[in-house]
Amino acid sequence: MPTENRWHISVDRDFCIGSGVCMGDRPDRFTLRNGQSQPIDAEIDADDEVLAVADSCPREAIRIVEVSTGNVLAPVD
């Protein structure tokens, strides 16, 4: 599978407080398991709405990395 325009999503379990904002906004991309967020798929096609979800995370626990370059797209410093 080509990695161009593919993103890797992860959730830092040390930071996630299980607010459910991500799941509420994109239930097709995130779920809550054991009180914390978890991506449904670790790798997805580029999706600006997922970036918006990462930006709305109250603890900046959602990390999005561009697969082909390794550039961190979220959280943004």
Long-range contacts of 28-35 (CB under 8 A, 24+ apart): 29/53
Q: Residue 3 has what pLDDT? A: 59
Report if residue 19 sits inside a domain: yes
Total domains present in the chain: 1
User: Rounded to two decimals, what is the model's pTM?
Assistant: 0.91
For 36-76, what is each residue's pLDDT tens digit? Answer: 999 999 999 999 999 999 999 999 999 999 999 999 999 98
- Write phi, then psi, for 68 (nearest 5 degrees): -70, -30
Q: Residue 13 has what pLDDT? A: 95
- CATH number of the domain bearing residue 48: 3.30.70.20
Report if residue 63 sits inside a domain: yes
Report if residue 74 sits inside a domain: no
Report if residue 36 sits inside a domain: yes
Encoded tokens for 23: 């799941």
Res. 19: pLDDT tops 80? yes
Q: Residue 2 has what pLDDT? A: 56
Res. 35: pLDDT tops 70? yes
Report if residue 77 sits inside a domain: no
Report if residue 57 sits inside a domain: yes
Which range marks the domain in which residue 64 is found? 6-69
